[in-house]
Amino acid sequence: MKLEIAEKKSLFYAIFSAYVGFLHNKIFYKKVVYTGTENIPHDKPVVFAPNHQNALMDALAVFYAQDRLLIFLARSDIFKNNFISKILLFFRILPVYRLRDGKEKLKLNEVIYKKTIEILEKKKKVTIFPEAQHTDKRHLKKLKKGVQRIAFMTEEKNNFNADVNIVPIGIYYSNYWNFRSVLQVNFGKPIKVSEYIEEYKKSPARAMVNLGKKMSEKMQEVMIDIRDLKHYDTYELLREIYDTEIFKKMNFKKNNQKNKFKADKKTISIVENIAKKNPDDFAKLHKDTEEYSENLKKFKIRDWVIEKSEPFTILFLKAIVLIIGIPVFIYGALNNIIPYLLPQLITRKLEDQQFRSSVVFCLGLFTFPLFYLIFFIPVYILSGSFLIGIIYLLSLLPTGLLAFVISRNFVKLKAQFVFLKNINKKEMKKTIELRKNIIKIIDKHYIS
């Protein structure tokens, strides 16, 4: 296998990377937050070890956290198509073969590992997902040994003086699939492989296991890790229900994403403690949360609708604002609906829905500019003015975003009116009471 990895950014690479970065950080996600970037060692060989929950989007999340060239290792099955393989290699993504790919292909990993070690020897950075596969839950799977193996191979080849650092990364999505969701990337403090070298000399297997344990521990610190998969949905909903209360108790003055992450970690920790020390309270908490969840589904509303209940006059004023924005919505929707919906048709057929946002994003890189150009041509011809054509072209993206915002606000407003309509019904009153009881149980076990 011949691997040609460019050592420096080409002009095309730099331009395309900037284009993808703009769409990733400013358009696709509503907000992107990076924390702990000061923990990234420079002028040292670094292996980034992120959790893996969202296919290609995880790689982009790490890539755009810093402006240096990165090498990624990815599972080999995405390299089957020759054209796609060339593109992936161009963007410094290398295949790693697993036993399921066939025993004969495992030998190809020797070439990959050799190339990866060469990159680390040049004090560059490599990203390897230690779980080796993504999951659809906020949960850290058991780590494989790929990161440790490459780290120790690099040290061994360089007489144990390479000074390899492993940086744990936690990737957080407010929603895995939705357009305009929130992304947070947390870089933990580096793990120095040199601390395990003496142990490695005596017992390589034990050193790899212990380094793996340290990696797992440090990755859990920088990510949302729900260990209790049996009650996973309960933990997820409790993060929403207890959100405002935990902010108050932790004395957070700002309602920002960094504090949201810390609050979620604290809520999960409290609930885990309840499950461990007070099983009766946890059983009651789980039962009430399940019933509360079912009631939300019946009324087709979300938890925030009950928490942030607003009077009819406020909702009426919001409705007027949305009505005023209808012309903008129509204009933006008509000009963006085709490239917006096209990827949705493809993602419906995906067996693994964790690829959904990756497919939508990658297709959008090409479909939106293509359709914008197609729409621009007749406007330019019919108007006879290049200036009018350009003004029209420049209006497409911002009005498309506004149309999306208006449509989302309409859905939210509808849910709020549904809540007000049913607020005096017995079942809705029971739902509100359930929420209060859930908060009381967690409050009882809160420890600052």
What pLDDT, on a 0 to 100 scale, did the predictor assign at position 133? 86
Residue type for 252, please?
Answer: F
Q: What is the mean pLDDT of residues 45-68?
A: 89
What pLDDT, on a 0 to 100 scale, did the predictor assign at position 93? 80
The three-class DSSP label of residue 29 is: strand
| Distance separating alpha carbons of residues 210 and 208, to the nearest angstrom | 6
Contact between 162 and 148 under an 8 Å Cβ cutoff? The reply is no
Q: Which residue has the tokens 């920088």?
A: 222
* The pLDDT of residue 374 is above 60: yes
Identify the H or E element spanning 30: strand 29-35
Residue type for 193, please?
Answer: V
* The pLDDT of residue 448 is above 90: no
Residues 20/25/29/32 CA torsion (nearest 10 deg) = 150
* The pLDDT of residue 114 is above 60: yes
The three-class DSSP label of residue 257 is: helix
What pLDDT, on a 0 to 100 scale, did the predictor assign at position 228? 97
Q: What string of DSSP letters covers 150-163? A: HHHHHHHHTTT-S-
What pLDDT, on a 0 to 100 scale, did the predictor assign at position 67? 63
What totals of helices (H) and strands (E) does the chain contain, helices first?
Answer: 18, 8
Q: 81 versus 207: which is more confidently predicted? A: 207
pLDDT > 90: what percent of the chain? 76
* The pLDDT of residue 1 is above 70: no
How many CA atoms does the CB half-sphere of 396 hold within 13 Å?
23
Q: 109 versus 265: which is more confidently predicted? A: 265
What pLDDT, on a 0 to 100 scale, did the predictor assign at position 208? 97
Reading the block at residue 115, the tokens are 């190339």
Q: How confident is the model at residue 393 (pLDDT cuts 50, 70, 90)?
A: very high
Q: What is the tens place of the pLDDT at every residue in 92-106? A: 788 888 767 777 777
Q: What is the tens place of the pLDDT at every residue in 160-172? A: 999 999 999 999 9
What's the CA angle centered on 328, arms 29 and 33, to 5 degrees?
15
Q: How confident is the model at residue 45 (pLDDT cuts 50, 70, 90)?
A: very high
Q: What is the tens place of the pLDDT at every residue in 410-426? A: 999 999 999 999 999 99
H helix runs in 191-254, sequence order: 197-202, 204-221, 232-241, 243-249
Reading the block at residue 61, the tokens are 């999340």
Q: 421 versus 353: which is more confidently predicted? A: 421
**Lowest-confidence pick of 40-54, 342-356, 371-385:** 342-356
Q: How confident is the model at residue 148 (pLDDT cuts 50, 70, 90)?
A: very high
Q: What is the tens place of the pLDDT at every residue in 181-219? A: 999 999 999 999 999 999 999 999 999 999 999 999 999
* The pLDDT of residue 296 is above 60: yes
Q: 346 versus 291: which is more confidently predicted? A: 291
What pLDDT, on a 0 to 100 scale, did the predictor assign at position 359? 87
Average pLDDT over the chain, rounded to an integer: 92
Q: What is the mean pLDDT of residues 309-324?
A: 97
Q: What is the mean pLDDT of residues 212-227?
A: 98
Q: How confident is the model at residue 352 (pLDDT cuts 50, 70, 90)?
A: confident
**Nearest-CA neighbor of 170 among 151, 152, 189, 192?**
189
Contact between 442 and 282 under an 8 Å Cβ cutoff? The reply is no
What's the CA angle centered on 327, arms 326 and 330, to 5 degrees?
85
What is the pTM assigned to this prediction? 0.92
* The pLDDT of residue 440 is above 90: yes
* The pLDDT of residue 6 is above 60: no
Kindly list the distances between the CA atom of residue 139 and the CA atoms of 4, 148, 224, 226, 227, in Å, as whole numbers in the listed order: 35, 21, 7, 5, 6
Q: 111 versus 118: which is more confidently predicted? A: 118
C-beta neighbour count of 335 within 10 angstroms? 20
* The pLDDT of residue 91 is above 80: no
Q: What is the mean pLDDT of residues 76-97?
A: 72
